[in-house]
């Protein structure tokens, strides 16, 4: 392939999923409208100006990276709620699994959380980032038919071009085993207008491109990960609790204040292995037993 497939924002979700299953990634045109894009830029400009340069070959030396993006702009939430991104994430991550609970075989579906969020600002003179798989953070393995651990989005805050470091992607590499590495000449640049977005899975080789232009390239990227995996970015230290309390409940849950079936992430409360969301809701909040879902599953089976 010489280019990645681009679909309109009106494209059916199933079509976008099919492209990702085939190529490992897809570009959605007009993922953000112009008004949203302008608000995002206004939100982040001051913080980006104060962000230091990277200090290594992976992070870059002429690249700035601002993490913990949900506390800098409301449009990190806009991104994770987008029907194409949320729909693709659900398709690849919320895959039911079966296991025995006593003598009963039950089916449980994992949730997903935000594993990392950042604004990536690649300036002129930056070289290529090493091609990599995002799921390498867990040393993930890729046997035939493996399950995906992450679905990532990169929203173009400025135009992405072959010259300014548009993300390099190796189409189809999500289908490779662990005995095959990527070659630079197999990677194609992400070319998309500001407001468009690249969505790809954790098993796809990719990396930031070389910026040979005279302008910087800015993108908002977020990873949605299987909820039973450790989050790459430590959200509990990145976001002060008082800040998290200002977020909508769905964003609180995505940042890890939730339980993934059957019980990853619980906190003990009066003898109950509880879903931690009640800790953000104040006195008198309802406490949910995170393992009550087993009772529900058994009841449904009966």
Its pTM stands at 0.95
Quote the tokens at residue 207. 């990396």
Q: What is the pLDDT of residue 298?
A: 64
Report residue 197's pLDDT band, with 50, 70 and 90 as the boundaries: very high
**3-28 burial, b for 16+ CB within 10 Å, e for fewer?**
ebbbbebeeeeeebbebbeebbbbbb
Q: Give the residue-averaged pLDDT of 77-97.
A: 97
pLDDT digits (tens, 9 = 90+) for 13-72: 999 999 999 999 999 999 999 999 999 999 999 999 999 999 999 999 999 999 999 999
């Amino acid at each position: 392939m010489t280019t990645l497939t681009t679909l309109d924002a009106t494209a059916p979700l199933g079509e976008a999923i099919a492209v990702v299953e085939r190529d490992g990634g897809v570009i959605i045109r007009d993922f953000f409208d112009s008004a949203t894009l302008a608000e995002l830029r206004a939100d982040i400009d001051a913080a980006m100006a104060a962000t230091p340069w990277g200090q290594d070959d992976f992070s870059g030396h002429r690249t700035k990276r601002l993490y913990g993006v949900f506390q800098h702009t409301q449009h990190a939430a806009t991104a994770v709620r987008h029907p194409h991104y949320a729909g693709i994430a659900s398709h690849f991550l919320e895959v039911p699994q079966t296991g025995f609970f006593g003598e009963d075989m039950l089916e449980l579906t994992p949730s997903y959380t935000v594993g990392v969020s950042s604004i990536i600002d690649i300036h002129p003179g930056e070289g290529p980032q090493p091609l990599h798989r995002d799921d390498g953070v867990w040393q993930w393995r890729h046997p035939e038919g493996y399950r995906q651990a992450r679905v990532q989005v990169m929203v173009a805050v400025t135009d992405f071009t072959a010259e300014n470091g548009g993300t390099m992607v190796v189409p189809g590499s999500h289908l490779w085993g662990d005995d095959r590495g990527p070659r630079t000449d197999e990677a194609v640049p992400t070319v998309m207008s500001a407001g468009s977005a690249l969505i790809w899975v954790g098993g796809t080789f990719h990396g930031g491109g070389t910026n040979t232009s005279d302008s910087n390239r800015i993108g908002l990227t977020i990873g949605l990960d299987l909820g039973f995996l450790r989050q790459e970015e430590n959200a509990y230290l990145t976001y002060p609790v008082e800040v998290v309390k200002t977020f909508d409940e769905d964003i609180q849950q995505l940042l890890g204040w939730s339980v993934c079936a059957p019980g990853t992430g619980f906190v003990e409360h009066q003898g109950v292995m509880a879903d931690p969301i009640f800790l953000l809701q104040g006195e008198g909040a309802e406490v949910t037993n995170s393992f009550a879902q087993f009772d529900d599953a058994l009841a449904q089976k009966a």
